[in-house]
Amino acid sequence: MYCSKKLSNSFEANSHYFAIIEQITEGNLWLNETCGVVPKNSWVIDLFGYSPTMAYLFRRMGFENMLIQRTHYELKKELALYRNLEFVWRQSWDAEETTDMFAHMMPFYSYDIPHTCGPEPAICFQFDFARTYGFTYERCPWGEYPQETTPENVKERALKLLDQYRKKSTLYRTNTLLIPLGDDFCYVTVDEAEAQFRNYQLLLDYINSDPDLIAEAKFGTLEDYFRTLREEADRVNYSRPNEIGSIEIGGFPSLSGDFFTYADRQQDYWSGYYVSRPFFKAVDRVLEQTLRGADMMMAFLLGHCQKPQCERLLTGFSYKLAAARRNLALFQRHDGVTGTAKDHVVNDYGVRMHIALQDLQIFMSKAVEVLLGIRHEKNEQNPSQFEAAQVRSKYDAQPVHKAMSAHEGTVQTVVIFNPLEQTRHEVVMVIVDRPEVTILDSNWTCVRSQISPEMQQHYSSKEDETLFSVDIVYTGKLRSPPLGLQTYYVANGFAGCEKATPAEVKWFVPSSNISCPKPYTCSRMEGEEAIISTRHQTLTFSMKDCYRELVIPMAAIMALLCL
């Protein structure tokens, strides 16, 4: 059986769709190249809630069916009451039924055997033969352990099991019922697997041999289940009066929406993962955008490189791009991007993403040289003359801007890569070590610019310690072409251009021992608030406690919704 081959079980509340698509693509490519299989069923049982976006992506990728488990227990009760645990999941904006995905929701607390054979876990536990004495799982909270199936007890055991099956079947519409047999870390030994199959084969043989039971039970895959169910739905109409259905599969309701926030009992809402470990959530997004940029550059190089020396760069870094893709995919797991893993696991995620970022930045710096025609003989070992503007010293460190040397008579090159499909006009910041700089574009035309003091956080109680560093920040509104590279120059001593204009510095702090860095003009803010605004939003700071208030005008919100 092959189900939704992914490199990890992407979490659907925190993961960006780019990372989800990347890792599903990578996983399915591996499956197709290795086994020659293209799956069409999704098995997603351990996520803490589900997003309709995932159903949409699966549908667009050619999947037909999906199985889900962790949804709010009260919602499960409501759907079970009306036998709607199997439904067609449709996007709320879809009026033409082009996004319909058939979904099966498991009805009970968990996906292990005690909670999948029927509504009574104390009875279902007796049919999890991996929990027989001597195997890994031995603890029984209900007091009665599984017993070996024999010719003497097979009737009694089979009838008890079938009773659970019948009770579970009342929650669904069709006569086709799915009973998963497994759990985390199951079937790890041959003895355990043989115990399960040996006992279940005797039970299924008995059920099938007695015509009075009017039941047929057999082993199968998820594909077998969905195929059998669809065949039955073609023969029998299970639709309800006035029910909105789907042309995808008849007899089931069409539902829209998401399954957040998840709760498994009482008021235990699983919502902390939205904000837990925010640092690594941010690193995840940085890795995503860096990987996308590196992928674009790799595509450009494939069309650009004609010389064997250039091809060495492609072959030398192709496996590192794949490794970066897989490290990003690993973090999308439901205990990764959520921040719910143990400390040592989180550290491993961080190290992997850090290595991926370093490899991608090295590749992109060398790719820039080739694409700009600076040097062709590039491979993995040759150093590049370009460096990333931001670097991290280790996996759990904040990024630091690298300072450019701007000595008298020197010119430094800044290359901006725009991986988007439209031209971008935005403010770009680089750090320089001197204020006497001018900015020029690739045609050596002067560009308007401004220098500002680089703020640094000091962890010191000394009142006379300055809050400003001597580093200088250059900003200018630059243009970068779509899917292209744009070169700018930072020069010191270029007579034909006006130097960068110093910013006017204002502060609001209680200390009076702050010295104004040269060459700036500094003054204290007056009033109780400081306001920064654009045509889309306004950010207000309180002078007393630095409290921030963000206001977005309704017109801007409507403009965003119209996009």
Q: Who contacts 300 (Cβ-Cβ below 8 Å, separation ≥6)?
A: 367, 371
Place of tokens 């204020």: 435
Q: Which strands make up the sheet holding 450-455, listed edge to edge?
A: 403-404, 424-432, 468-480, 450-455, 501-502
**Structure tokens, 74:** 């009260």
Give the pLDDT score at 495. Answer: 80
Domains of the chain in sequence order: 17-273 (3.20.110.10), 275-391 (1.20.1270.50), 402-515 (2.60.40.1180), 527-563 (no CATH)
Distance (Å, whole) CA 188 – CA 192? 7
CA-nearest of 312, 478, 500 to 389 is 478
Per-residue pLDDT for the chain (563 aa), expressed as one digit of tens each? 555 555 667 778 888 999 999 989 888 888 899 999 899 999 999 889 999 999 999 999 999 999 999 999 999 999 999 999 999 999 999 989 999 999 999 999 999 999 999 999 999 999 999 887 666 666 777 778 899 999 999 999 999 999 999 999 999 999 999 999 998 888 888 988 999 999 999 999 999 999 999 999 999 999 999 999 999 999 999 999 999 999 889 999 999 999 999 999 898 998 888 889 999 999 999 999 999 999 999 999 888 877 666 777 888 888 899 999 999 999 998 888 999 999 999 999 999 999 999 999 999 999 998 888 886 555 556 678 888 988 899 999 999 888 888 888 889 999 999 998 998 888 888 888 888 888 888 888 888 888 888 765 443 344 443 333 334 455 556 778 899 999 999 998 888 888 888 888 887 766 566 677 788 888 877 877 888 888 888 888 777 766 556 565 544 443 333 33
- Between CA 148 and CA 493 the distance in angstroms is 89
Residues 438 and 491: beta-carbon distance below 8 Å: yes
Q: Name the residue among 105, 100, 101 with its Cα closest to residue 72.
A: 105
Residue 427: CB atoms within 10 A of its CB come to 10
Tokens of 467: 């809050």
pLDDT value for 561 = 38
Entry pTM: 0.83
Q: What is the pLDDT of residue 385?
A: 83
Instruction: Kindly list the catalytic residues.
Output: 46
Residue 561 CB contacts under 8 Å (≥ 6 apart), including other chains? none
The Cβ of residue 171 has, within 10 Å, a number of other Cβ atoms equal to: 22
Q: Tell me what pLDDT residue 7 has.
A: 61
What is the pLDDT at residue 135?
A: 64
Long-range contacts formed by 53-57: CB under 8 A, 24+ apart: 53/12, 53/17, 54/10, 54/12, 54/20, 55/89, 55/91, 55/99, 55/101, 55/103, 56/91, 56/99, 56/101, 57/17, 57/20, 57/21, 57/24
Residue 461: its pLDDT value, please?
42
Q: Is 353 left (phi over 0), alpha (psi -120 to 50) or beta?
A: alpha
* Contact call for residues 432 and 472 (beta carbons, < 8 A): yes
Q: Which two tokens stand for residue 268?
A: 């235990």
Closest residue by Cα to residue 202 from 274, 135, 152, 263: 152
User: Would you call the peptide bond into 261 cis, given omega within 30 degrees of 0 as the criterion?
Assistant: yes
